[in-house]
Amino acid sequence: MSTPERRAELTQRLAAVRARIDAAMEAAGRTDPVTLVAVTKFFPASDVDLLAELGVTDIGENRDQEASAKVAELAHRDRVTVHFIGQLQSNKAGSVARYADVVHSLDRAKIARALDRAAQREGRVLDVLVQVGLDAAGGRGGVAPEAVRDLADVVGGLEHVRLRGLMAVAPLGEPARPAFARLRGLAETVRADHPAATWLSAGMSGDLEDAVAEGATHLRVGSAILGSRESHR
């Protein structure tokens, strides 16, 4: 596909997603800001640059190797905030701390400490979210709801990561809305101890309306903007 064709396609899909978000915000009676994080995993740096030209300010990536190479390639690196949203191993903390501005997927104290040390080495302070596992089986990653406050306290005590809130993926086999409502309740508990933890990262292409209804401040939307990832795997 040529660049003008791709630009036209992204323009159209982005407008449709923004319209969905606006409608959901209106239905929820919300006028506070919401951040659209375009999840560009599997798609090339050229798509990120096109999105930046279309006014996208935040992009999300979930694999360290792919993300570090892609971010290095960007023409418009200065126009986007880079969110790392994938499962994080402590041996990747050093790499992620180099290119990510926000990490959504913190789910262990060991990784929080590794990321803190890595950010210190880079002379940076990273915004981080604690990922909550909303499904009973814990299959989609994240810390168990009953352990969230302890992990938030660990993160809150570190100097080079800044606790900004909670993140979750809707569980499989259960409606998203009540799960996001549980996440919202947890976020309120955490905020009582950590007033700066005001972000709530929830909602993807299929369930962003439910997330907006439950107070999400950050929506992580991939396929509804970029198209199917199947052909890019």
Ligand X SMILES: *Cc1c(COP(=O)(O)O)cnc(C)c1O
Rule CB under 6 A: choose which of 50, 82, 186, 221 binds ligand X.
Answer: 221
Phi-psi region of 202 (alpha: psi -120 to 50; beta: other; left: phi over 0): beta
**CA distances (Å), origin 120, targets 24, 112, 161:** 39, 12, 9
Rule CB under 6 A: choose which of 17, 49, 50, 62 binds ligand X.
Answer: 62
State both tokens at 6.
Answer: 């791709």
Rule CB under 6 A: choose which of 10, 36, 39, 129 binds ligand X.
Answer: 39
Q: 111 or 169, CB closer to ligand X?
A: 169
Shortest Cβ 77–ligand X spacing (Å): 21
- Phi, psi dihedrals of residue 104, rounded to the nearest 5°: -90, -15
Site for ligand X in 77-96 (CB under 6 A): 85-86
Q: Evaluate whether 46 touches 232 at the Cβ level (below 8 Å).
A: no
Of all residues in the shown chain, the one whose CB is closest to ligand X is 222
- Would you tell me how many other CB atoms lie within 10 Å of the CB of residue 154? 18
x-marked contacts with ligand X along 135-174 as a string, rule CB under 6 A: ----------------------------------x-----
Site for ligand X in 192-211 (CB under 6 A): 204-206
- Candidate segments 16-24, 95-103, 118-126, 222-230, binder of ligand X by CB under 6 A: 222-230
- Residue 17 binds ligand X (CB under 6 A): no
Q: 74 or 105, CB closer to ligand X?
A: 105
- Candidate segments 2-10, 64-72, 117-125, 216-224, binder of ligand X by CB under 6 A: 216-224
Residues that bind ligand X (rule: CB under 6 A) add up to a total of 14
Shortest Cβ 120–ligand X spacing (Å): 26
Q: How far apart are CA 131 and CA 98, in angstroms?
A: 21
User: Hey, what amino acid is at 187?
Assistant: A
User: Hey, what amino acid is at 39?
Assistant: V
- Residue 223 binds ligand X (CB under 6 A): yes
> For 3, what's the count of Cα atoms within 13 Å in the CB-facing half-sphere?
7
Q: How far apart are CA 210 and CA 229, in angstroms?
A: 23
10 Å CB burial of residue 182 (0-12, 13-18, 19+) is middle
Which residues of this protein are in contact with ligand X, per CB under 6 A?
A: 39, 41, 62, 85-86, 169, 204-206, 220-224
